[in-house]
Amino acid sequence: MIIELSRLLQTRVLSLQLGGPIGEVTDAIVDHENLKILALRLRGPMINAKSGDILTVDSIREFGKLGIIINSADDLVGENDVIRVADILKLQFSLIGLKALTKRGTKLGTVTSYHLETNSMMVKDLIVKRRGFKAISDPELFIPRSEIVEINDYEVIVKDEEAKIKVKAEKENFIPDFVNPFREANFAPAQTQTPGGKDN
């Protein structure tokens, strides 16, 4: 399943042990070297930073419509309990707010969000907000991870502006929650007659 960051944030986290929610996602900790989400930061009445508010992605049993399912609150760890997570937090790295440039130095805009694949927890693409005159026709750019050449503390460098694709309002993986009446078994298109009287 592919979702946008905004949908990931505030997603409920449910404990099998308690049979209900223990909190919600407030942030994603992304490894800048491979653009994989290593862990999620949570908040909730049963969660505090001292006892641990970090959920590593390895502890996620399922990611579905109900939310993120884990075994129990005991799966949460502290900021310094996982070395790679601790390293990323010390760097204070975040994709959001980075400037996007081409290799030629053309300014594309600012990273405002991204999409991720929930099975692998990999960032699939970046959403870049345009500025100036280009924002009128192309307010947002959709930059696949394959187009990214380099990421540093301030910028995302991409191969070429022409390779970018506009973000569409409806994603191809969108599944509506309503029943499409045109897909009912009893629906059949109207028949037409040819000049010879035969139905088509």
Average pLDDT, the chain: 82
DSSP E strands, the chain: 2-4, 12-15, 20-31, 36-43, 54-56, 62-64, 67-70, 99-102, 107-117, 122-129, 140-144, 148-151, 155-158, 165-166
**Distance separating alpha carbons of residues 11 and 158, to the nearest angstrom:** 30
pLDDT in tens, 91-113: 999 999 999 999 989 889 999 99
| Mean per-residue pLDDT, 41-55 | 90
pLDDT in tens, 161-191: 655 544 443 344 444 444 433 344 443 444 4
| Mean per-residue pLDDT, 32-37 | 94
pLDDT in tens, 145-166: 999 999 998 999 998 765 554 4
**Distance separating alpha carbons of residues 40 and 184, to the nearest angstrom:** 41
Name the residue with higher pLDDT: 138 or 159.
Answer: 159
| Cα diameter, the chain | 83
Task: Give the tokens for residue 41.
Answer: 């930061």
List domains and CATH numbers for the chain: 2-91 (2.30.30.240), 99-166 (2.30.30.240)
